[in-house]
């Protein structure tokens, strides 16, 4: 079977009887072309089904107008909301997106990076639960712009967009303590991750200190998803916790349903507060009280920051903190 021949920019230029530079200006939406000429070129482009070669174009211009996005879980509504903000701003600035799923696995993240580098991406937005040493080394070695979205960097090596996780957790735990709870648990996917160890747990401790309650390490628990949250209920009750501050909406829903299944009424006997304000928080019964984050804006601001870096523009600050809020719903008292 004869291989289909690729249509090149030269073929379009010859058929339209214009220069290759003119064809390039038309397909790249450069308006310094006469309307009649643009129309003629576009007719040939459609007839020949010409598709510009982004890689070849990138070699010539040293830009591919392509951005790589690494996401730990494409099915997680938290990261999906960030990705939507990224995509909308990318489209506004005429960048294409290559989205890769890493499952939050360090080896997959490094592999995804190498794949993106091979595709000559102009920049990378990284969304992950932790910035590991191998990933950090890859970023530094390649020297292309990188922005972290919803991912913290305690070393402040890379520009990042987040909320103030320490203050957000402190505010939510303060509310649980104000409701009369003396034993508030803190639940996160992995306690040793920087976002928990360096930001959320200190915020939790600050709220306890403000209420003159001693920190009890036995009230720190791990649960990364619905099933783990559901199974965690026995431990929470055995440690006499009466409320939980949870870093993940799915785990929070699991805890709440697990408590209801065991006959523990929420919020009368056990209060649950969560962190991400994804759609799930409004779908549970009772609905979940939560920290509110501008998830779409985190993604959008990260992409805008990346466009500036890719254009070699100066940026005012490497660490951007967007405002957060609190939404009291049915899973806590006084909602």
Q: What is the DSSP letter of 99?
A: E
Please report which confidence band the pLDDT of residue 1 belongs to, taking 50, 70 and 90 as the band edges. very low
pLDDT by residue (tens digit) across 233-243? 999 999 999 99
> For the segment 284-296, what is each residue's pLDDT rounded down to a tens digit?
999 999 999 999 9
DSSP tally for the chain: helices H, then strands E: 14, 12
Task: Answer whether residue 57 shows pLDDT above 60.
Answer: no
What's the distance, Cα to Cα, between the start and end of the chain in Å?
69
Q: Cα–Cα distances in Å, from 11 out to 23, 148, 207?
A: 10, 42, 69
State mean pLDDT over 163-183: 97
Confidence band, pLDDT 50/70/90 cuts, at residue 58: low
Per-residue pLDDT of 261-277, as tens digits, reads 999 999 999 999 999 99
Global pTM value: 0.80
Assess whether the previous peptide bond of 285 is cis (omega < 30° from 0): no
Residues 6 or more apart whose CB falls under 8 angstroms from that of 102 comprise 70, 71, 72, 108, 109, 112, 128
């Amino acid at each position: 079977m004869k291989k289909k021949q690729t249509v090149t920019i030269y073929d379009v230029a010859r058929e339209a009887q214009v220069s290759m530079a003119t064809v390039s200006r038309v397909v790249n939406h450069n308006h310094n072309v006469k309307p009649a000429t643009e129309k003629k070129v576009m007719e040939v482009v459609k007839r020949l089904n010409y598709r510009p070669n982004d890689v070849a174009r990138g070699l010539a211009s040293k830009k591919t107008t392509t951005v790589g996005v690494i996401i730990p879980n494409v099915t997680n509504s938290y990261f999906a909301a960030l990705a939507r903000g990224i995509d909308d701003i990318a489209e506004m600035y005429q960048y294409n997106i290559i989205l890769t799923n890493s499952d939050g696995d360090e080896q997959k993240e490094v592999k995804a990076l190498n794949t993106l580098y091979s595709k000559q991406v102009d920049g990378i937005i990284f969304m992950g639960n932790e910035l590991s040493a191998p990933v950090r080394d890859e970023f530094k070695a390649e020297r292309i712009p990188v922005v972290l979205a919803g991912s913290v960097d305690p070393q402040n090596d890379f520009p990042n967009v987040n909320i103030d996780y320490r203050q957000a957790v402190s505010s939510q735990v303060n509310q649980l303590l104000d409701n009369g709870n003396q034993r508030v648990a803190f639940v996160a996917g992995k306690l040793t991750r920087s976002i928990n160890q360096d930001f959320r747990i200190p915020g939790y401790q600050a709220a306890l200190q403000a209420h003159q309650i001693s920190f009890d390490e036995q009230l720190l628990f791990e649960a990364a998803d619905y099933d783990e949250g559901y199974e965690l209920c026995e431990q929470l009750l055995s440690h006499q916790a009466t409320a939980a501050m949870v870093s993940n909406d799915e785990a929070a829903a699991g805890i709440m349903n697990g408590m209801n299944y065991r006959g523990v009424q929420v919020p009368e006997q056990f209060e649950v507060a969560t962190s991400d304000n994804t759609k799930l928080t409004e779908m549970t019964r009772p609905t979940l009280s939560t920290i509110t984050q501008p998830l779409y804006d985190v993604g959008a601001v990260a992409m805008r920051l990346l466009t500036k870096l890719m254009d070699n523009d100066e940026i005012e600050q490497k660490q951007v903190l967007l405002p957060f809020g609190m939404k009291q719903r049915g899973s806590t008292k006084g909602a």
